[in-house]
A and B are shown apart, each in its own frame.
Chain A
Amino acid sequence: MSCAIAFEHVTHRYLHAVAVDDVSLRVEPGETVALIGPSGCGKSTLLKLAAGLVWPQQGTVFVTDRALAPDNLLEIRHRIGYVIQSGGLFPHMSAVDNVTLAARFLKRDRQWIAERVAELAELVQLPRDALDRFPNNLSGGQRQRVSLMRALMLDPAVLLLDEPLGALDPMVRHGLQEDLRRLFQRLRKSVLLVTHDMAEAAFFSQNIVLMREGKVVQRGSYRDLIDAPAEQFVSDFVKAQRGLHAEALDA
């Protein structure tokens, strides 16, 4: 078996609730999978399980074919890029220091770091002068671009994106969606993307995984979810997501 990310019968409980309930899921190399579902369905927890930020009580998480364990965690994390809704940039470091922190810690060659930064800035279309600014002096869109650069710095095989565009206003969001999709196609990374927006999920991926109460309800393309819903909840969720658009158009 060769896979980028695999969950095998993974269960994670918080103190009072089950967040992820016996989930098995695979992301093939180069594939983009969109995780979607209502709030609290366990999609962010699944992402944290893949990054080793929380540990499953049952089951195993594989990243690039290796089972996550405390002793290989740091090494495996260097093969993972993780981006969250707020960007998670360290406010006491300039953008470029945020981007290069891990590389500097790993004592990568200075020249290599400088070239990599220039390359990534171009890739995510970040103006050069933004690199020297502190996160508080960047726009929301710029912050997410910097966060993406940081995630890509060590050229990871896997990208874990937790609502990366969720905090942006619609215009900026739309522009970034286009840029991101182009970037995924060009880099051929394996991507696990969490979103709560069905249109965004459909825009990024033919592989949409719909979750509810810690379980995977259905996996398939947007069309599959509409045409062959696994259960009533799938139709309800799709309908609710389309609701306002459709009503506005119908009116």
Chain B
Amino acid sequence: MPESHCRLLHLVLTVAMLSFSSVASAATTIIGSKAFTESVILGELATQLTEEAGFDAEHRRQLGGTRVLWSALIRGDIQCYPEYTGTLRTEIFSSENIRNDAELRQALAREKIWTSTSLGFNNTYVLGMRRDRAAELGIARMSQLADHPTLRFGFSNEFMERADGWPGIRAHYRLPQQDVRGLSHDLAYRGLESRSLDLTDLYSTDAEIVHYDLTTLVDDAGFFPVYDAIILCRDDVPGPIRESLNRLGGRIDEMTMTKMNARAALDREPEAQIAASFLRDRMNVSAEAKVQSRTARIWQRTREHLAMVGISLGLAVLVAVPLGIVAFYRRGVGRVVFAIADILQTLPALALLVFLIPWLGIGYAPAIVALFLYSVLPILRNTHTGLADIPRDLRESAEALGLPRIARLRYVELPLAARSMLAGVRTAAVINVGTATLGALIGAGGYGQPILTGIRLDDTNLILEGAVPAALLALLVQWVFGWLEHRWVAAK
């Protein structure tokens, strides 16, 4: 690819990046959260406390896993997000052999990250039993399990294998039980309920603890690692915000967090509302729960989705049409261009999005760049095909009229290729509408957002709230382009 084309592409990408990094203006504090319910609730608490301190705040929900959130924080795409000390030790600073919280704080400070005081709960593995069964046997601590060798244990398959799971516990507490089975988590809960199991592994703040009325055993020999919940912020976040966030310190114990999780996961209460009622009841903060109506929510998702699809498609047309023309007239360039475009097309969308995060961060920019890259090939190919399919005698007739090349392109060749080009844009648009649902994974919103939340909460209605409009939009796009083709091209 000649340098000029490289430069053009670079320019377009830069413009796209700039226009979207400016969407979230510097004045707004962006709070991120991971893609599970507890993180979303904590993110919502942090957002409302930031607002309470008198700052504008925006909550980008369920952005992904630890890596995504951490790199977004380091890049400054988000200013704060809830995290766990154990996760930081094992996933972020795994090579540094950090032994205690003080060392962790120092390591974070080196990355210019401020750490809130611990929120008060430790979300780690725990062992849970039916409350009545534990009372009947008089078990409250893990060390007491050694006195009951006939208890039936059922653990999740992963827990059966992990060094910090059953093998470690058995060695650490010298447990004698023989009846130990690996099974899926859902089955384990049902096993406890039907009394065919006595004990299973849980996260200490799982909503199921409330739902199944379980009691959790105290890890009295200190086997499980500590996963204290904290809030991380960049150290350029204003002092008043940090002070406000620190007010959460020590205020949320395991049971409180578990109940909040249960309200979201089991009662389908919006996270914003759960956070607001916590702040109101426990901290006397009159926070405002911004719960959107369904219509407002769908309208916002529609705008986000249309913005992603429209902008990426527009950029793709601007780049792919000239590129297709050049590729047609300069065969050497064409081969290179098509080779690159073909490779881009074969990248899985999810992988491409993840590759783009270190470069472009989270939000609109990587989503639009990914969608742009997917739109280029169909438009490029159809522009090239449209031009190549023009009959030779028409091409020569235009030449023989004494029109210079640019005029032949403008008056004869592009109009003749228009139908094929339009079909390419249509293909790209329909693909984009579908692919854009993945944008929610990296914080760009759109119809993928309710789908993602629906999957997290196992809520079919929410999934449909994203899937149905996405399907309708794809149909609408088909229809609009069909009409355009009929109106502009086929009439002649």
Q: How far is the CA of A174 from the CA of B132 in the complex (A)?
A: 107
Considering only residues 125-169 of chain A, those with a C-beta below 8 Å from chain B are 134, 150, 154, 160
Which residue in A75, A77, A78, A101 is a CB contact (below 8 Å) of B411?
Answer: A101
A102 touches B403 (CB 8 A): yes
Q: Could you tell me the distance between the alpha carbons of A14 and B321 in the complex, rounded to whole angstroms?
A: 31
Tell me the smallest distance from the CB of A47 to a CB of chain B, in Å.
10
Contacts of B492 in A (CB 8 A): 91-93, 134
* Contact yes or no, A88 B403, CB < 8 A: no
Q: Is B19 at the interface (CB under 8 A from chain A)?
A: no
Interface centre among A91, A105, A160, by most chain B C-beta atoms within 10 angstroms, is: A105
Pick from B394, B397, B403: contact of A105, CB under 8 Å: B403
A88/B415 in contact, CB under 8 A: no
Please name all residues of chain A whose beta carbon is closer than 8 Å to the beta carbon of B412 when the two chains form the complex.
90
Q: Which of B69-84 contact A (CB under 8 A)?
A: none
How would residues 413 to 446 of chain B score, 1 for a CB under 8 Å from any chain A CB and 0 otherwise? Answer: 0011010000000000000000000000000000
Chain B, 121-150, contact with A by CB distance < 8 Å: what is the 0/1 string?
000000000000000000000000000000
The B-contacting residues of A in range 16-70, CB under 8 angstroms, are 48, 51-53
B407 at the interface (CB under 8 A from A): yes
Q: A102 and B415 in contact (CB under 8 A), knowing A88-B393, A88-B396?
A: no
- Give chain B residues whose Cβ lies under 8 Å from the Cβ of A75: 402
Q: Is B398 an interface residue (CB 8 A)?
A: yes
A-B contact sample (19 more), CB < 8 A, given A74-B402, A82-B397, A91-B416:
A52-B399, A73-B402, A76-B402, A77-B402, A78-B402, A80-B402, A82-B400, A82-B401, A88-B396, A90-B398, A90-B412, A91-B394, A92-B415, A92-B418, A92-B492, A101-B401, A105-B407, A105-B411, A154-B402
Using a CB–CB cutoff of 8 Å, the interface residues on chain B facing chain A are 393-394, 396-404, 407, 411-412, 415-416, 418, 492
Measured CB to CB, the residues of A under 8 A from B are 48, 51-53, 73-78, 80, 82, 84, 86, 88-93, 101-102, 105, 134, 150, 154, 160
Q: Shortest 9 CB-CB distances between A and B: which pairs?
A: A88-B397, A77-B402, A82-B400, A78-B402, A102-B401, A92-B492, A92-B415, A88-B393, A74-B402
A/B interface sample: 21 pairs, CB < 8 A? A51-B400, A53-B399, A75-B402, A77-B399, A78-B402, A80-B400, A82-B396, A82-B400, A89-B397, A90-B397, A90-B398, A90-B416, A91-B416, A92-B415, A92-B416, A92-B418, A101-B411, A102-B402, A105-B403, A150-B401, A154-B402
